[in-house]
Chain A
Amino acid sequence: MAHVNTFANIPINVVITSQSSGLTIAMTLLHEIQAMLKTLLDTGQNGILDLRALPALGEDGYQFLKEKLGQGEVSARIQSFGHSEIQETAYSGIWWIVHYNQDDGILTELVEVNFLPELLKSPKDDVMFSQINLSKLLHELTIKK
């Protein structure tokens, strides 16, 4: 009986000659992030990419970007009108930030290039209010004594 080749026996090496547009955009974003890192080191100026403003990135481009940037050591959670997740990527200074609304729907998703994400820092005005409010508390506690 003659041997009949099945498709599984035929050696086929699929060569991808063109990337999808999503992957192309993801590659462009990686270059842009690299430029932002240089700016951060040279001038201290941070940079932000809004991934929700890039619908052409697509699911494949999004996954590619997330996979390549990976996960780093620091993660933080902000509880403020719906929570926010902040994750350092495998590359120090590159942060992946997701803001959720109260229904746990994604409000916006960002990549921030900074020594520390702006949103994690306590704003100066809020610190000033803290100082006033803590003074009031201490005053009340002193009176109660």
Chain B
Amino acid sequence: MSNLSKKELRNCIASRLSQHLELETLNEISYIETLGDRLANSGVSRRSFMKYCMGLSAMMAIPISLMPKLVEAALLSPLTSVVYLSFQECTGCLESLVNVFPNTQFKTDSIENILLTALSLDYSETLMAPSGTQAEKSRTDAIAKKNYVLVVDGAMPDDKGGAGFFIQSGKTGLQLLKAAATNAAVVVSVGTCASFGGLPAAKGQNGKSPTGAISIKAALTSFGGIYATKKVINVSGCPPIAEVIAGTLVYWILNKKAPELDSNLRPKMFYGETVHEECYRKEFFEHGQFVESFDDAGARKGYCLLNMGCKGPITHNACTTLKWNQGTGFPMEAGHGCLGCSEPGFWDKEAIAGQGIGFYKPLDINTIDD
């Protein structure tokens, strides 16, 4: 190659690029692949899948006696197609989801790998191999099918005026979302940005979000028609717990319907309780023993972190029960209060009237239900 002139080198690159663009995407498989086929081809036995689902039944509030029939039906069903779109986000949510599949020296395989096997991830800009026109074709093909699960992370810039905050292949975020939502069976908003606006929706100095960011539900509602009534599941958190994302998707695979949702459209099975209710420091809260500054005597004794700004009493999430990093721990176990990342208005709302906002400003104890 080093003997080639610059002109020859340019021609060589141009030729390769043109060949690349002419590559055809793989033909669609002529038969419908079932979940059972996929598991078998991946070396996952029925027994393993059954065991995994049995383990989830208590968490998902599915009677365990029903689980064998649900699993049997799921194994005979076609693979659940997933289209994953990203808007104003930091990729932390996807990072969290892929962390559910540990692949370390000690965990060469994981039970949650089953989830990856159980899904047909037909489009994800971050994870997929195709790029350019092939990537565009992947999306067009995927959303031309019906009844896929549309997973969205990131808030939506409300740029109907054409401000151009999010443009991809000549289309705005709103146009991309509308096209992808048309045939979706359900829209899963992963992360607080997609669920409630999150950081992009936080107010700037002029009291407005710089991009006018709104939640995915709000964007769908603004389209009206079938979009306003489209089933939306909010899986909030910054990021959400990996097992919560996985659990919500497995519930859909097994039941072909959404789990019971709270008033903020979050699955009650994960967001039914506040982190305060299950916190191991709650006993100190009840006895009025609080940490007053980090590393004081109370902090060393593990007292309640309410006065250090812990938002646990108003934050609904499964941190204290499922924990983080494959069940290793959660913020209060590390000596830090909850930031309230899974609640609407994260960044802006956690304020006491007249005292402004701040992660370290304590909640009013009189407003906390015991």
A residues with a Cβ closer than 8 A to B are 47-50, 52-53, 78, 80-82, 84, 99, 101-103, 105, 107-108, 110, 118-119, 122-123, 125-126, 129
Please report the C-alpha to C-alpha distance between residue A107 and residue B114 in the assembled complex, in whole angstroms: 15
Structural contact, A107 and B55, CB atoms closer than 8 A = yes
CB within 8 Å of A: which of B115-159? none
Please report the C-alpha to C-alpha distance between residue A108 and residue B51 in the assembled complex, in whole angstroms: 9
Shortest Cβ gap from B33 to chain A (Å): 14
Structural contact, B326 and A103, CB atoms closer than 8 A = yes
Structural contact, A101 and B55, CB atoms closer than 8 A = yes
Structural contact, A48 and B47, CB atoms closer than 8 A = no
A80-B47, A108-B55 as given contacts; A125 in contact with B107, CB under 8 Å: no
Q: Which of A47, A81, A125, A126 neighbours the largest number of chain B CB atoms within 10 Å of its CB? A: A81
Residue B293 lies at the interface, judged by CB distance under 8 Å to chain A: no
Residue B111 lies at the interface, judged by CB distance under 8 Å to chain A: yes
Residue B255 lies at the interface, judged by CB distance under 8 Å to chain A: no
Q: In the complex, what residues of A have CB within 8 A of residue B75's CB?
A: 125
Please report the C-alpha to C-alpha distance between residue A66 and residue B52 in the assembled complex, in whole angstroms: 24
Mask: chain B, 173-198; 1 = CB below 8 Å from A; 0 = not: 00000000000000000000000000
Structural contact, B36 and A82, CB atoms closer than 8 A = no
Q: In the complex, what residues of A have CB within 8 A of residue B279's CB?
A: none
A-B contact pairs, 12 of them (CB 8 A): A50-B58, A53-B57, A53-B64, A80-B45, A80-B51, A81-B111, A99-B54, A102-B110, A107-B111, A119-B47, A119-B50, A123-B46
Structural contact, B51 and A125, CB atoms closer than 8 A = no
Structural contact, A125 and B40, CB atoms closer than 8 A = yes
> Which B-chain residue is minimally distant from A123 (CB atoms)?
B46
Contact pick for B55, options A48, A99, A118, A122, CB 8 Å: A99
A47-B65, A48-B65, A126-B45 as given contacts; A103 in contact with B58, CB under 8 Å: no
Structural contact, B64 and A129, CB atoms closer than 8 A = no
> Which A-chain residue is minimally distant from B109 (CB atoms)?
A81
Residue B11 lies at the interface, judged by CB distance under 8 Å to chain A: no
Q: In the complex, what residues of B have CB within 8 A of residue A48's CB?
A: 64-65
Please report the C-alpha to C-alpha distance between residue A59 and residue B114 in the assembled complex, in whole angstroms: 32
Residue B358 lies at the interface, judged by CB distance under 8 Å to chain A: no
Beyond the given A81-B110, A129-B40, please list 18 additional residue pairs across the A-B interface where CB-CB is below 8 A. A48-B64, A50-B57, A50-B58, A50-B64, A53-B64, A78-B47, A80-B51, A82-B111, A84-B51, A101-B55, A107-B54, A108-B58, A118-B50, A119-B50, A122-B47, A125-B36, A126-B40, A126-B46
Structural contact, A81 and B48, CB atoms closer than 8 A = yes
A53-B64, A102-B107, A103-B327 as given contacts; A108 in contact with B47, CB under 8 Å: no
Residue B329 lies at the interface, judged by CB distance under 8 Å to chain A: no
Structural contact, B110 and A119, CB atoms closer than 8 A = no
> 3 closest A-B pairs (Cβ-Cβ)?
A107-B55, A123-B46, A81-B111
B residues with a Cβ closer than 8 A to A are 36, 40, 45-48, 50-52, 54-55, 57-58, 64-65, 68, 75, 107, 109-111, 114, 326-327
Shortest Cβ gap from A67 to chain B (Å): 23
> Chain B at the A interface: mostly helix, strand, loop or mixed?
helix
Q: In the complex, what residues of B have CB within 8 A of residue A49's CB?
A: 64
Please report the C-alpha to C-alpha distance between residue A53 and residue B55 in the assembled complex, in whole angstroms: 11
Q: In the complex, what residues of A have CB within 8 A of residue B51's CB?
A: 78, 80-81, 84, 99, 107, 119
Q: Which of A102, A103, A122 neighbours the largest number of chain B CB atoms within 10 Å of its CB? A: A102
Please report the C-alpha to C-alpha distance between residue A14 and residue B111 in the assembled complex, in whole angstroms: 50
Please report the C-alpha to C-alpha distance between residue A61 and residue B51 in the assembled complex, in whole angstroms: 25
Structural contact, A125 and B46, CB atoms closer than 8 A = yes
Contact pick for A108, options B57, B68, B109, B327, CB 8 Å: B57
Please report the C-alpha to C-alpha distance between residue A63 and residue B317 in the assembled complex, in whole angstroms: 31
Please report the C-alpha to C-alpha distance between residue A129 and residue B43 in the assembled complex, in whole angstroms: 10
Please report the C-alpha to C-alpha distance between residue A119 and residue B47 in the assembled complex, in whole angstroms: 6
Q: In the complex, what residues of B have CB within 8 A of residue A50's CB?
A: 57-58, 64
Shortest Cβ gap from A124 to chain B (Å): 9
Q: In the complex, what residues of A have CB within 8 A of residue B64's CB?
A: 48-50, 53, 110
Please report the C-alpha to C-alpha distance between residue A102 and residue B326 in the assembled complex, in whole angstroms: 10
Structural contact, B54 and A108, CB atoms closer than 8 A = yes
A81-B48, A84-B51, A119-B51 as given contacts; A101 in contact with B36, CB under 8 Å: no
Please report the C-alpha to C-alpha distance between residue A52 and residue B47 in the assembled complex, in whole angstroms: 20
Structural contact, B47 and A123, CB atoms closer than 8 A = yes
Q: In the complex, what residues of B have CB within 8 A of residue A52's CB?
A: 58
Q: In the complex, what residues of A have CB within 8 A of residue B111's CB?
A: 81-82, 101-102, 107
Shortest Cβ gap from A103 to chain B (Å): 7
Shortest Cβ gap from B10 to chain A (Å): 50
Q: In the complex, what residues of B have CB within 8 A of residue A108's CB?
A: 54-55, 57-58
Shortest Cβ gap from B350 to chain A (Å): 30
Q: In the complex, what residues of B have CB within 8 A of residue A78's CB?
A: 47, 51
